[in-house]
Amino acid sequence: MTTKQKIVVIAVFVLLALLYVGAVANGGGSGQGDASKRPGGIVGWLGDLVGSPPDAKRADLSAPCLTANTLSFKGSCTMTVAKSDDGTRQIKLHADDAVSVGSRAAQSKDTITQDVNAGDDVTVTVDGDGGGVIFTCKDSKATCTVTLSPAEES
């Protein structure tokens, strides 16, 4: 190995060491991110480029606690989303009461749960396999209401 090659190799190792020290000094994040915030950078740009998935058809949604566009339940209720050739779809909801919403993440086997405050809106994304969306009242003795957004009527 020539002297120039040795200098280049040493310079690369020094640069990597500096980058590593800088990453450690800045920390890896608190782990307290907010999934409801819109991502920025390349992820946000790709999202703008591709766009959001279409709304789930109202006919694909069923639950024993669902009347018209309103889910009304005490304790918990599971809304079933039918399989569809449309692929990934989203369900827009408005929580009149504080609830927890759980479902299988689209294109995954993992289950995700989100706490939703009274008066807040939430979007649940489902893939073509469909599945269940579980709503649970935060106050176990209360009757909770969650409303499907009007776009779901299609």
What residue spans of 27-145 are helical by DSSP H?
41-50
Q: Token pair of 104, please?
A: 């299988």
Is 2 in the same domain as 78? no
Instruction: Give domain status of residue 139, yes or no.
Output: yes
Instruction: Give domain status of residue 43, yes or no.
Output: no
Instruction: Name the pTM for this structure.
Output: 0.66
Is 7 in the same domain as 65? no
CB–CB of 92/148 below 8 Å?
A: yes
Is 17 in the same domain as 73? no
Out of 10-14, 74-78, 107-111, give the one with best mean pLDDT. Answer: 74-78
Instruction: Give domain status of residue 39, yes or no.
Output: no
Q: Is 45 exposed, middle or buried (0-12, 13-18, 19+ CB in 10 A)?
A: exposed
More confident residue, 128 or 25: 128
Q: Token pair of 142, please?
A: 């209360």
CB–CB of 60/84 below 8 Å?
A: yes
At 47 the three-state DSSP class reads: helix
Is 127 in the same domain as 74? yes
The Cα 65–Cα 78 span in angstroms is: 8
Is 80 in the same domain as 140? yes
Instruction: Give domain status of residue 46, yes or no.
Output: no
Candidate from 6-15, 36-45, 143-152 with smallest mean pLDDT:
36-45
Instruction: Give domain status of residue 33, yes or no.
Output: no
| pLDDT tens digits along 28-61 | 555 554 554 556 666 666 666 767 788 889 999 9
Q: What is the CATH number of the domain that holds 134?
A: 2.60.120
If one counts the domains in the chain, the total is 2
Judged against a pLDDT cut of 60, whether residue 118 lies above it is answered with: yes
Instruction: Give domain status of residue 136, yes or no.
Output: yes
Is 84 in the same domain as 136? yes
State mean pLDDT over 11-20. 83
Look up the domain containing 90 and give its range: 58-153
